[in-house]
Amino acid sequence: MDGAGVNLLHLLGYALMVLGVIGVVLPFLPGPPLIWLGAFVWAWGDGFVRINWAILAALGALAALAWASELLLTTAMSRRAGVSWKAIAGAIVGGLLGGFLLVGVPLVGALFGALLGAVLGMFVVEWLDKRNLRRALRAIWGYWVSTLLASLLKFAIVLAMLFIVAWRIWG
């Protein structure tokens, strides 16, 4: 491949990785998979010299771990806090609706809408199911704590992915 093509692939790879970092915060962008895709495109532009298939496999495993940990950790910790499966479904539906309804608000609209929608969805389902304000609020607290811990873990995994990529490119 000629030099101009390599540069374009490198730029596209960087852009995808930046989009992936943004996706760590915005719920509608799959952050870790975009970082992996950016690393793949960059590696392709480099002929898989600095970032080879073994590195891409490791990055893929980390991306899958980040995705799975967010889903599994949030669900498991919420369940442990006493949140019902119906309330988790309410949080998912509420989060999706909230994210879509406030997507027009620049940058933070979809994030705020998704968080607010998830909390309201969970609260409504818990309240309708148990008719107990204390249980409904405890469910929301358990959800918030589990979401925060899962997000911190995902962020740490993304930092590890970015460190690996930077080490292989500039290291």
162 phi and psi angles, rounded to 5 deg: -65, -35
Interval 12-41 mean pLDDT: 91
CA atoms within 13 A on the CB side of 127: 10
The percentage of residues in the chain with a pLDDT greater than 90, rounded to a whole number, is: 40
Q: In this structure, are residues 50 and 168 in contact, taking their beta carbons and an 8 Å threshold?
A: yes
The predicted pLDDT at position 97 comes to 84
Number of domains in the chain: 1
Residue 99 has pLDDT above 70, yes or no: yes
Residue 143 has pLDDT above 60, yes or no: yes
Model confidence at 67, pLDDT cuts 50, 70, 90, reads confident
**Per-residue pLDDT tens digits for 78-98:** 788 777 888 888 888 888 888
Q: Which residues, other chains included, contact 56 with Cβ-Cβ below 8 Å and sequence gap of 6+?
A: 36, 39, 40, 43, 48
Q: What angle do CA 152, 90, 127 make, to 5 degrees?
A: 110
Domain of 17 in residue numbering reads as 3-170
Residue 15 has pLDDT above 90, yes or no: yes
Residue 108 has pLDDT above 80, yes or no: no
- Its pTM stands at 0.77
Interval 104-111 mean pLDDT: 65
Distance, in Å, from the CA atom of 18 to the CA atom of 128, rounded to the nearest integer, reads: 42
